[in-house]
Amino acid sequence: MKNLPDEVAALLRLWPDYRPTPLIELPGLAKECGVGEIMAKLEADRPLGNFKSLGGMYAGLRALARAAGLPSLETLVARRGAPKLPRLICASDGNHGLAVAAAAEMAGAPSRIFLHKGVPPERADRIAARGADIQWIEGTYDDAVLAASRSASAGEGLLIADTSDDPGDPALGDVMQGYELIAAELAGQLAERRPTHLFVQAGVGGLAAALVKGLADRQLLPERILVVEPKRAACVARALATGKPELIEGHLGTSAEMLSCGLASAPAVEILLQYSAESLVVGEDRLAEAVVTLDRAGGQRPRNPGRQDWRDCWRPPPVRKRGTLWVSTVRQLCF
């Protein structure tokens, strides 16, 4: 694949299952919304079930290679734990922790993953099955982030965070560079068809920022970038409005569970502001309808079609007759 940092390419060589996720067209939905084209990138088809595998695995392996003074990810994995490797640490809602634990397992290193009590046990089991030590934390995702950071500061291992208040955090830089693989895949899949609008979901904003930067670097930046969040955990919306991450207190529970974050990532916000990203905040009713609509649009079994839901929650764009929308999605989370 062209335009890929060497070490991201090395990750792909280590990953025999790797293949680009599909970019599908949704002509029925485009017609319904009155736009030219809608495309969706199906990130649920990624190894480990989501895009987080790209960031957490890449950053985890790179941190271990750096710590062991090894020249490449391939050497690291070939040696499998010799010399003795440090522990990888992170906080997670489930997906990032799974990726970091998988990196540790691949390299023969230990891992410790901090989960808040709202994470369902089956998600914790998947992480534990990769050999990780699970630490349960009272509170929200943001409390787990703090606990993981304290653990790393106390010398218990290397922090592989997917969010940070430090724009220079090297592991986070690697996480976001790993996500850029999605933009590299898109460059091949879109060919010359530059989308007019990008809709991308956000927890702390890392995915959205990496995509925006990756598309801009490849001359594919859409005219409008819409960062989509649940109303109950709209921390990126808050940061875009005020110019910096600010903690949203209280209950962040939402059906879009992986997006339940109260504090946006500073490096991500910096990039999103630089590219004038806008915010689109969606209430719980709309989130539930969107799942049904996307299932239907993807040709799956129709369930109680609510015909105007996409039009309402996506605010039809001014260029609607010729517009191309591009949507980052996992089928169940559904944006």
Nearest residue (CB) to ligand PLP, 52 versus 213? 52
Give the phi and the psi of residue 38 in degrees, each rounded to 5.
-130, 130
Please state, in angstroms and rounded to a whole number, the distance separating the CA atoms of residues 63 and 49.
Answer: 23
Select from 93, 142, 169, 289 the one that contacts ligand PLP (CB under 6 A): 93
Instruction: Show contacts with ligand PLP in window 52-81 (CB under 6 A).
Output: 52
Cβ neighbors of 247 (< 8 A, separation 6 or more) are 142, 235, 262, 263
Residue with tokens 């070490």: 7
**x/- binding map, residues 264-283, to ligand PLP, per CB under 6 A?**
--------------------
Please state, in angstroms and rounded to a whole number, the distance separating the CA atoms of residues 285 and 67.
Answer: 47
Cβ neighbors of 55 (< 8 A, separation 6 or more) are 96, 99, 162, 174, 175, 176, 177, 178, 179, 206, 210
Please state, in angstroms and rounded to a whole number, the distance separating the CA atoms of residues 247 and 233.
Answer: 10
- Smallest separation (angstroms) from ligand PLP to the CB of 277: 12
Nearest residue (CB) to ligand PLP, 201 versus 279? 201
- Smallest separation (angstroms) from ligand PLP to the CB of 260: 9
- Smallest separation (angstroms) from ligand PLP to the CB of 179: 7
**DSSP SS3 for 60:** helix
Select from 30, 39, 327, 330 the one that contacts ligand PLP (CB under 6 A): 330
Beta strands 37-42; 197-201: pairing state:
unpaired
- Smallest separation (angstroms) from ligand PLP to the CB of 55: 8
96 binds ligand PLP (CB under 6 A): yes
Question: Can the peptide bond before residue 83 be classed as cis, meaning omega within 30 degrees of 0?
Answer: yes
Number of residues that bind ligand PLP (CB under 6 A): 18
**x/- binding map, residues 107-146, to ligand PLP, per CB under 6 A?**
----------------------------------------
Residue with tokens 């790993």: 178
The answer to whether the beta carbons of residues 315 and 292 sit under 8 Å apart is no
Angle subtended at Cα 317 by Cα 316 and Cα 323, rounded to the nearest 5 degrees: 110
333 binds ligand PLP (CB under 6 A): yes
17-25, 90-98, 107-115, 299-307 -> range binding ligand PLP (CB under 6 A): 90-98
**DSSP SS3 for 116:** strand
Select from 178, 203, 222, 267 the one that contacts ligand PLP (CB under 6 A): 203
Nearest residue (CB) to ligand PLP, 149 versus 201? 201
201 binds ligand PLP (CB under 6 A): yes
195 binds ligand PLP (CB under 6 A): no
Please state, in angstroms and rounded to a whole number, the distance separating the CA atoms of residues 16 and 292.
Answer: 34
**x/- binding map, residues 150-189, to ligand PLP, per CB under 6 A?**
------------x---------------------------
Nearest residue (CB) to ligand PLP, 201 versus 293? 201
Nearest residue (CB) to ligand PLP, 70 versus 327? 327
147 binds ligand PLP (CB under 6 A): no
**DSSP SS3 for 317:** coil
Instruction: Show contacts with ligand PLP in window 12-51 (CB under 6 A).
Output: 50
- Smallest separation (angstroms) from ligand PLP to the CB of 319: 26
> Following DSSP, what letter does each residue of 244-273 receive, concatenated?
S--PPPS----SSGGG--SS--HHHHHHHH
| Residue 284: Cβ-neighbour burial (10 angstroms; 0-12, 13-18, 19+) | middle
Please state, in angstroms and rounded to a whole number, the distance separating the CA atoms of residues 89 and 36.
Answer: 45
Query: Residue numbers of the site for ligand PLP (CB under 6 A)?
Result: 50, 52, 93, 95-96, 162, 201-208, 258-259, 330, 333
